[in-house]
Amino acid sequence: MAGESGDKVSLREFLEEKIEHLSTRLNSLDAKYNAAIESEERAREAQSKSSKEAIGKAEEAQRAYNIGHNDLSRKMDEQYKSMVPKPEFVLKNDAVEREIEDNRKQLEVMRELLPREVGLLRIELMKEIAGLRESRSEGGGKAAGVQASTAFVISAFGVVLGLISAAIAIAAFLRK
């Protein structure tokens, strides 16, 4: 029994050492487990914080985009209000082109008729001047007749000059 009691002591010591070793190891594993949990919690908190920051930045970027988009939409609406629809533009443009073409035709007709009219006025004026010369040589200078004839000649000359000026202006306009 003596051997047995020595074996019991050493078995007891052995078991106590094992228990102490396992306790130390358990405490070590427990500390590592707690450290891992704390690390995991810090990582989750950091991830949560990063997610919140990313969400905040994304929302801010979306707000900025919305403001820019709304400004662009507003500008496009303003621009659209000032635009003329294509069918209306085509109608107006056709009307203006017809009016321009009509004016061109009228100016060309006037351009053709004007020299003839000026020529006819010149012939009439020359006849009148010849008649005045005859009446002057015949009448011996009646003042009233001469004044009336002179006034007519001056008026006719003014009309001819006006027609010539109009012809020059029309010709200049057509050259443009």
Q: pTM of this prediction?
A: 0.34
CA-closest candidate to residue 91, choices 101, 81, 99, 79: 99
First to last CA, the chain: 141
Q: For residue 161, what are the CA distances in angstroms to 24, 57, 88?
A: 130, 82, 45
Go through the chain and tell me how many residues it has.
Answer: 176
Task: Give residues with Cβ within 8 angstroms of 117, minimum separation 6.
Answer: 163
pLDDT tens, the chain, 176 aa long: 445 566 667 888 888 888 999 999 999 988 989 999 999 999 999 898 888 899 988 888 888 888 877 777 888 888 888 888 888 888 888 988 998 898 888 888 888 887 888 888 888 888 888 887 777 776 655 555 666 677 777 888 888 888 888 888 887 777 76
Q: Where are the domains of the chain?
A: 1-83, 88-176
- C-alpha 153/C-alpha 161 separation (Å) is 12
